[in-house]
Chain A
Amino acid sequence: AQSVSQHNHHVILSEAASLELGCNYSYGGTVNLFWYVQYPGQHLQLLLKYFSGDPLVKGIKGFEAEFIKSKFSFNLRKPSVQWSDTAEYFCAVNAPSGGYQKVTFGTGTKLQVIP
């Protein structure tokens, strides 16, 4: 069974600082990878996704993530965070399981950006 680890539970940054959130997964086969964002009091929204091809994927609001297959990692990055990026971020792995979709989420990282 697949699993997802997010190493940072709570990150505090000042505006304009660079961001990198770690995500590692365990699954031996082909996976699809996602980052979702949950702004305070809201539902989860898709930030970006990786299916195949270029391992560096760009998402909305200046976020990007790099898939490194040899490290089973899919870290999320942003060069310069804004106060509006304050949210909880979830990494997710989507892999075949008995022919159907099995989505496994990490435990989430809360990002607090200080103005």
Chain B
Amino acid sequence: EAQVTQNPRYLITVTGKKLTVTCSQNMNHEYMSWYRQDPGLGLRQIYYSMNVEVTDKGDVPEGYKVSRKEKRNFPLILESPSPNQTSLYFCASSSSSRHNSPLHFGNGTRLTVT
């Protein structure tokens, strides 16, 4: 089954404790992206990747890191999480970096930083 898989689904952590949210897609998609969803703000792009070893900042990259060493994986790293990073996070992928490809979303990761 074609899908985008994120783990974990729920995560509670403390300020400053490094964490990684994994994202993997099995559709051989070139483009991958991370979003955070906050009430009243919709989805905001954190980072995106056009292909292996090619990543760039989205609209809200501060406090986050990503890597794209393999085509299928695009982990999101929070080196020193803070409470303002409490949010619902979605990974998404699409078949190409062209602007007519719809996004396929993972099931989301609800992160709470205390």
Contacts and interface: CB of A to CB of B under 8 A. Distances in A.
B42 A105 contact: yes
B23 to A, nearest CB: 12
B12 interface: no
B11 interface: no
B99 A96 contact: yes
A107 interface: yes
Interface in A5-33: 6, 9, 31-32
Interface in B84-114: 90, 92, 94, 96-103, 105-108
A103 interface: yes
Interface in B8-55: 31, 33, 35, 40-45, 48, 50
B107 A95 contact: no
A21 to B, nearest CB: 14
A65 B42 CA distance: 20
B75 to A, nearest CB: 18
Given A90-B42, A94-B100, A100 B106 contact: no
| Interface range, A side | 20 to 34
Given A32-B99, A90-B43, A95-B99, A103 B108 contact: no
B94 A101 contact: yes
Nearest to B43: A105
Contacts of A103: 33, 45, 103
- Interface centre among B35, B92, B96, B99, by most chain A C-beta atoms within 10 angstroms, is B99
Given A44-B92, A44-B103, A101-B96, 6 more contacts: A9-B40, A31-B99, A45-B105, A101-B94, A107-B42, A108-B42
